[in-house]
Amino acid sequence: MVQEISTRDAYGQTLVELGRKNPDIVVVDADLAKSTQTYLFGKEFPNRFFDCGIAEQNMITIAAGLASSGKIPFASTFAVFLPGRCFDQVRMSIAQPGLNVKMATTHSGISVGEDGISHQAIEDLALACALPGVTVIVPADGIEAAKAVRAAAETFGPFYLRLGRPKVPVIYTEDYKFEIGKASCLKTGKDVTIIAIGIMVKTALDAAAELQQQGMECTVLNMSTVQPIDEAAIIKAAAETGAIVTVEEHLANGGLGSIVASVLAKNRPVPMEIISMQHYAMSGKPAELMERYGLTAKGISEAVKRVLKRKFSGR
Partner 1 sequence: MTENTNNSASTSAEKSAAGVFYSTGAPGTLSIEEMKVIARKIRREIITMIGGVGSGHPGGSLSAVEILTALYFKVLKYNSADPQWADRDRFILSKGHAAPALYATLAAAGYLPESELCTLRKIDSRLQGHPECGKTPGVEMSAGALGQGLSFGIGVSLAGRLNNQDYRTYVLMGDGECEEGQVWEAAMAAAQFKLDKLIAIVDNNGIQLDGWIKNIMALEPLRQKWESFGWNVIETDGHDVGQVIEALGKARLVTGQPTVIIAHTIKGKGVSFMENNPDFHGKAPNADELKIALKELE
Q: Which of 97, 133, 189, 254 binds partner 1 (CB under 8 A)?
A: 97
Taking CB under 8 A as the rule, does residue 269 contact partner 1? no
Q: Which one, 100 or 296, has the nearer CB to partner 1?
A: 100
3-state SS string over 133-185? CCEEECCCCHHHHHHHHHHHHHCCCCEEEECCCCCEECCCCCCCCCCCCCCEE
Task: Tell me whether strands 25-29 and 49-51 are parallel, antiparallel or unpaired.
Answer: parallel
Task: Tell me whether strands 225-227 and 135-137 are parallel, antiparallel or unpaired.
Answer: antiparallel
* Cβ-Cβ contacts under 8 Å for 17 (sequence gap 6 or more): none
Taking CB under 8 A as the rule, does residue 67 contact partner 1? yes
Is 237:193 a contact under the CB 8 Å cutoff?
A: yes
What is the rounded distance in angstroms from the CA atom of residue 201 to the CA atom of residue 102? Answer: 23
Is 280:222 a contact under the CB 8 Å cutoff?
A: no
What is the rounded distance in angstroms from the CA atom of residue 256 to the CA atom of residue 192? Answer: 17
Is 191:220 a contact under the CB 8 Å cutoff?
A: no
CB of 101 to partner 1, least distance (A): 10
CB of 52 to partner 1, least distance (A): 6
- Candidates 287, 290, 262; CA nearest to 277 is 290
Which region, judged by CB under 8 A, interacts with partner 1, from 87-95, 163-171, 223-231, 249-257? Answer: 87-95
Q: Which of 46, 70, 215, 314 binds partner 1 (CB under 8 A)?
A: 70
Is 70:24 a contact under the CB 8 Å cutoff?
A: yes
Q: Which of 40, 64, 138, 252 binds partner 1 (CB under 8 A)?
A: 64
Q: Which of 14, 36, 37, 89 binds partner 1 (CB under 8 A)?
A: 89
Taking CB under 8 A as the rule, does residue 68 contact partner 1? yes
Environment class of 215 (CB within 10 Å of its CB; exposed 0-12, middle 13-18, buried 19+): exposed
The binding track of 16-55 with respect to partner 1, each residue x by CB under 8 A or -, is ----------x--------------------xx-x-xx-x
Q: Which one, 65 or 269, has the nearer CB to partner 1?
A: 65
* Phi, psi torsion values for 104, nearest 5 degrees: -125, 110
Q: Which one, 63 or 148, has the nearer CB to partner 1?
A: 63
Taking CB under 8 A as the rule, does residue 57 contact partner 1? yes
Q: Which one, 133 or 284, has the nearer CB to partner 1?
A: 133
Q: Does the active-site annotation cover 174?
A: no
What is the rounded distance in angstroms from the CA atom of residue 96 to the CA atom of residue 173? Answer: 37
Q: Which one, 68 or 267, has the nearer CB to partner 1?
A: 68
Q: Which of 71, 150, 268, 306 binds partner 1 (CB under 8 A)?
A: 71
CB of 42 to partner 1, least distance (A): 14
Q: Which one, 52 or 104, has the nearer CB to partner 1?
A: 52
Taking CB under 8 A as the rule, does residue 58 contact partner 1? yes
Q: H or E segment at 225?
A: strand 225-227
Active site residue: 4, 17, 44, 56, which one?
A: 56
Using CB under 8 A as the binding criterion, the count of chain residues that bind partner 1 stands at 29
List interacting residues with partner 1 (CB under 8 A).
26, 47-48, 50, 52-53, 55, 57-58, 61-71, 73, 88-89, 91-93, 96-98
- Return the active site residues: 56
